[in-house]
Amino acid sequence: MVGETSQTIVVAGGSLAGHTVVTELERHGFAGQIVWVRGREGTAPYSRPALSKELIQGKVTAETIRLPVPQPYGPRVRIMDGAVCAGLDPHADRVLVTQPDLSERWIDFDALFVCTGTQARVPEAFAGLPGVHSLRTLADAERIKDRLAVRPRTVVVGAGLVGSEMAASLRSCGLPVELIVQGQLPMEAVFGAELGRFCLERHHANGVTTRLGATVTALTAEGPVTLTYDDGESSTADMVVLGLGAVTSCDWLDGCGLDLSDGLGCDEALRTARPNILAAGDVANWRHPLFGHRMRVEHWSNASAQARHAVESWLAGQEGRQPPAFADVPYFWSDQYGLKYQMVGHARGHDEVHVEEAGTGGYPFVTYLRGGRIVAAAGVNAPRAVMRMKARIQADLAGDPTSEEVYAR
Amino acid sequence: MKLSVDRTLCDGNGVCMGIAPDVFDIDDDLNLHIADEIPDDPAVQAQVRQSVTSCPVLALTLEE
């Protein structure tokens, strides 16, 4: 048992990070009450990465992507589905919760875990137009999937991870797809030019039409959707999917006095300036002790690992120990046209790349360096080469003299 | 500790391999290989538990 029976922990957010905080508190035998404010979606947690990949392609269903509950939640877990945190008292440990019937109430807490994540970025002028979709939630994915039966001509706007995966998934369903790339290459912001070129070639080889260096300036939806671009050209579609990135969901913390400059600012141990308020997942902005700068990471592995860590940090504080720094090396993957893209590390600010081939496919394998140290690596169908770099990055950034040895392994 | 994988679900996403590289290995054809013996080391066993609950396609099962 840890904690006191009189304690209340509020967990804000019903996706992977919130789910993991709750299951970890249960696993540690937390003695108090957990109030889990699961958010507007009103669904049990599910695997979000599957939405733009397997779910759209019909390989999985809403039922099969539910996250497993190791055991029924204990009697001390109170789940508030459809409820959202609407405010944090700047002077007292209490959150304002809006319930599905719109009634509001304050809940006092001993600790608060902020796991409210991100939402799809949708320009105001494009919001709510018929035939125009974004993709963040299960409901979003099901709305898109429901339209596929009529075989819509689709324009995907934005070629980051979600946009590129959507284009690939829709092509795999045999639909005509045009991909609007704001820069010159898809996934360039994530992977840089070398893998961006490879990704572009894969889209073309699979029959996607691309429009490069284009920004959508207007969308009209009367019957088919008309998209107008900044160069004056236009295209029409039966369906538009926006993949324009994500914005953090922390408006509800406005005015609470915490650092909200990009997500929710935390220390190395994921605690905010109020140490009984911690953050995990897409929303958490912390200084990575190895990379030496602040970051937010919007990927699956990070949400799970940070949630686990935030619980450890809180427990350490309870027991009067120094909470450990969160130093996981970020990792994500992407599935497109049967190929597995993988990246470890954090390439931001890199000033040098090395490109070679790796894996049985001989696809490009990119190493990213900053100031002569490896900060990230990415490859296609080369899990061993990519994962080996995780230890190398860890060792290299920690200045560990055995890093060469790790690399040679 | 008995660890198994449902190969109809496993997609070679590599999350487990990132967490517990001594136990999970994914080859370039994206097939998962699990070590015959899980080391009797609490740190590795914690990694294995974390891998099971972190699998994005829920393909791993652990019996303790």
Each residue's pLDDT tens digit, B4-62 = 999 999 999 999 999 999 999 999 999 999 999 999 999 999 999 999 999 999 999 99
pLDDT band, very low/low/confident/very high, at A400 (cuts 50, 70, 90): low
What is the rounded distance in angstroms from the CA atom of residue A397 to the CA atom of residue A394?
6
A211 and A106 together in one domain: no
> Where in the sequence is the domain holding B6, given as residue range(s)?
2-63
3-state SS track over B3-52: EEECCCCCCCCCHHHHHCCCCEEECCCCCEEECCCCCCCHHHHHHHHHHH
A402 has a pLDDT exceeding 60: no
Would an 8 Å CB–CB cutoff place A381 in contact with chain B? yes
Question: For position A42, what pLDDT does the model report?
Answer: 85
Q: Is the dihedral of CA A203, A205, A209, A210 positive or negative?
A: positive
Distances (CA, A) of A103 to A82, A83, A97, A99: 12, 10, 8, 5
CA-closest candidate to residue A283, choices A39, A9, A8: A39
A132 and A222 together in one domain: yes
Q: Tell me if A328 is assigned to some domain.
A: no
What is the rounded distance in angstroms from the CA atom of residue B35 to the CA atom of residue B47?
13
Q: How far is B63 from chain A (nearest CA, A)?
A: 12
A383 near B12, Cβ under 8 Å?
yes
pLDDT band, very low/low/confident/very high, at A409 (cuts 50, 70, 90): very low
Q: Tell me if A113 is assigned to some domain.
A: yes
> Where in the sequence is the domain holding A149, given as residue range(s)?
122-244
**How is residue A183 written in tokens?**
């820069």
Residue A381 CB: number of other CB atoms within 10 A? 22
pTM of the model as a whole: 0.95
A356 and A377 together in one domain: yes
Alpha helices in A73-159 (DSSP H): 138-147
**How is residue A378 written in tokens?**
């990415």
Helix (H) or strand (E) holding A19: helix A16-27
Q: Tell me if A43 is assigned to some domain.
A: yes
Question: For position A71, what pLDDT does the model report?
Answer: 63
Single-letter amino acid code for the residue at A184: Q
CATH of the domain at B54: 3.30.70.20
Single-letter amino acid code for the residue at A288: H
Comparing A403 with A395, the larger pLDDT belongs to A395
Distances (CA, A) of A121 to A126, A156, A269, A322: 10, 14, 28, 38
Alpha helices in A251-374 (DSSP H): 300-318
- B42: which residues sit within 8 A by CB, 6+ positions away? none
**Nearest chain B residue (CA) to A65:** B57
Question: For position A100, what pLDDT does the model report?
Answer: 93
| Angle between helix A188-205 and helix A161-172 axes, rounded to 10 deg | 20
A323 has a pLDDT exceeding 70: yes
Chain centroid to CA A281: 7
Whether A68 and B53 lie within 8 Å, measured CB to CB:
yes
Contacts of A387 in chain B (CB under 8 A): 14, 17-18, 21, 26
Distances (CA, A) of A319 to A174, A187, A312, A323, B57: 57, 44, 10, 10, 35
3-state secondary structure of A136: coil
**Nearest chain B residue (CA) to A303:** B54
Single-letter amino acid code for the residue at A393: I
A158 and A20 together in one domain: no
3-state secondary structure of A329: coil
Q: How far is B58 from chain A (nearest CA, A)?
A: 7
Q: Tell me if A397 is assigned to some domain.
A: yes
Give burial (CB, 10 Å; 0-12/13-18/19+) of A221.
middle
- In this structure, are strands A84-88 and A331-336 parallel, antiparallel, or unpaired? unpaired
Would an 8 Å CB–CB cutoff place A50 in contact with chain B? yes
Contacts of B8 in chain A (CB under 8 A): none
Whether A335 and B11 lie within 8 Å, measured CB to CB:
yes
Question: For position A70, what pLDDT does the model report?
Answer: 60
- In this structure, are strands A225-229 and A234-237 parallel, antiparallel, or unpaired? antiparallel
Distances (CA, A) of A254 to A79, A120, A391: 25, 19, 39
A152 and A197 together in one domain: yes
How many domains is chain B built from? 1
Question: For position A408, what pLDDT does the model report?
Answer: 43
**How is residue A55 written in tokens?**
């779910």
CATH of the domain at A273: 3.50.50.60
What is the average pLDDT value for chain A, to the nearest integer? Answer: 94
CATH of the domain at A404: 3.30.390.30
Chain centroid to CA A170: 21
Contacts of A340 in chain B (CB under 8 A): 12-14, 30
pLDDT band, very low/low/confident/very high, at A222 (cuts 50, 70, 90): confident
pLDDT band, very low/low/confident/very high, at A45 (cuts 50, 70, 90): very high
pLDDT band, very low/low/confident/very high, at A403 (cuts 50, 70, 90): very low
Percentage of the residues of chain A whose pLDDT score is greater than 70: 97
A108 and A136 together in one domain: no
**How is residue B12 written in tokens?**
């070679």
A378 has a pLDDT exceeding 60: yes
3-state secondary structure of A60: coil
Of A244, A264, A292, the position where a domain reaches its end is: A244
Q: Which residues pair with A155 in a beta bridge?
A: A178, A240
Q: Tell me if A374 is assigned to some domain.
A: yes
Helix (H) or strand (E) holding A395: helix A383-397
Of A178, A213, A244, the position where a domain reaches its end is: A244
A111 and A15 together in one domain: yes
Q: Tell me if A171 is assigned to some domain.
A: yes
Question: For position A404, what pLDDT does the model report?
Answer: 46
Question: For position A98, what pLDDT does the model report?
Answer: 98
Q: Tell me if A61 is assigned to some domain.
A: no
A372 and A273 together in one domain: no
> What would the pLDDT profile of A59-97 be if each residue is shown by its tens digit?
999 999 998 776 678 889 999 999 999 999 999 999 999
Question: For position A406, what pLDDT does the model report?
Answer: 44
What is the rounded distance in angstroms from the CA atom of residue A229 to the CA atom of residue A216?
4
A211 near A372, Cβ under 8 Å?
no
Q: Range with the lowest mean pLDDT among A102-111, A275-284, A391-400?
A: A391-400
Q: Tell me if A347 is assigned to some domain.
A: yes
User: Which of A54, A333, A357, A380 to mutate to test binding with chain B, by most B CBs within 10 Å of its CB?
Assistant: A333
A240 and A140 together in one domain: yes
A79 and A162 together in one domain: no
> What would the pLDDT profile of A171-201 be if each residue is shown by its tens digit?
999 999 999 999 999 999 999 999 999 999 9
How many domains is chain A built from? 3
Q: How far is B56 from chain A (nearest CA, A)?
A: 6
A236 and A152 together in one domain: yes
